[in-house]
Amino acid sequence: MNFQETYAHLTDGDLLLVAAGRAHLVHEAALAMDSEMARRGLTYKDARTKKKTVARLRSQQDTRRPSPMITKYFVPQVRGRWLLLLLSPILLIPLLFFPRIVSEEWLLAIMFASYGVVCAISAVQPWLRKTKSFWLSLPVACVVQLVVGHMMAHRWAPRSRGELKGTAFLSILAGYAVALPLFLLLQKAIGKQNPEVRSP
């Protein structure tokens, strides 16, 4: 095999990637690599830098790519998320105009739960919204979010924006943590009763 001719046909980028593994080349290939690198004015420091850059880019791509399990149940990107965030407080307007319906100490908990419900509905795949399991587990998540949100808001009395965000996040997460296993159990149970009904 003519190593010199092979390396001569590589682009600078490809040559640097091969050069980064010089220690693993046979003696003749290493000598041909040295010659080609010198001819192009490239260094092995350039090769190490190139290898690190490529590894970093691959790592970033792997991190950004959602797992098949996640994309099976959730949409990769929620469209109109700002609209959804504005929609949740609008649901509270009747409660603000008629304060006797609900006591003031439950308002924050209701706001957290409404955010949780809107986020759940908008983040899941369309096929999931057609299942009984989803709609049966959603009220359970909502009740848990209400109770946990009320307990946390009553005990901690969050005032700053950061405290409110943290309380909302924890109460919504608690609801999802309870509803998700319930959803999976219901999916299995309903799937056994109706074998023809399967998720995509």
Query: Over its length of 200 residues, how does the chain's per-residue pLDDT go in tens digits?
Result: 688 889 999 999 999 999 998 888 899 999 999 999 999 999 999 999 999 998 888 877 766 655 555 567 777 666 555 555 555 556 556 655 655 666 777 778 888 888 888 888 888 888 888 888 999 999 999 999 999 988 888 777 777 878 888 888 999 999 999 999 999 898 888 866 655 444 45
Asked, for residue 46, whether it belongs to a domain, the answer is: yes
74 SS3 class? strand
What letter represents residue 112's amino acid? Answer: F
Distances from the Cα of 195 to the Cα of 66, 133, 150, 182, 188, angstroms: 29, 15, 40, 19, 10
**Residue 133 resides in a domain:** yes
Residues 55 and 132 in one domain: no
- Evaluate whether residue 153 is within a structural domain: yes
pLDDT of residue 197: 47
Final residue in a domain of this structure, among 45, 64, 83 = 64
Residue 141: the pLDDT is 93
Please check whether residue 200 lies inside any domain of the structure. Answer: no
Alpha-carbon gap, residue 185 to 155, rounded angstroms? 33
Domain C-terminal end among 18, 34, 64: 64
Last residue in a domain, options 64, 84, 102: 64
Q: How far is 136 from 185, CA to CA, in rounded Å?
A: 11
The whole-number pLDDT of residue 62 equals 63
Backbone angles phi, psi at 74, to 5 degrees: -120, 150
Number of domains within the chain: 2
* Res 163: pLDDT: 82
On whether residue 199 sits in a domain, the answer given is no
Do 155 and 72 belong together in one domain? yes
In the chain, count of helices (H) and strands (E)? 10, 0
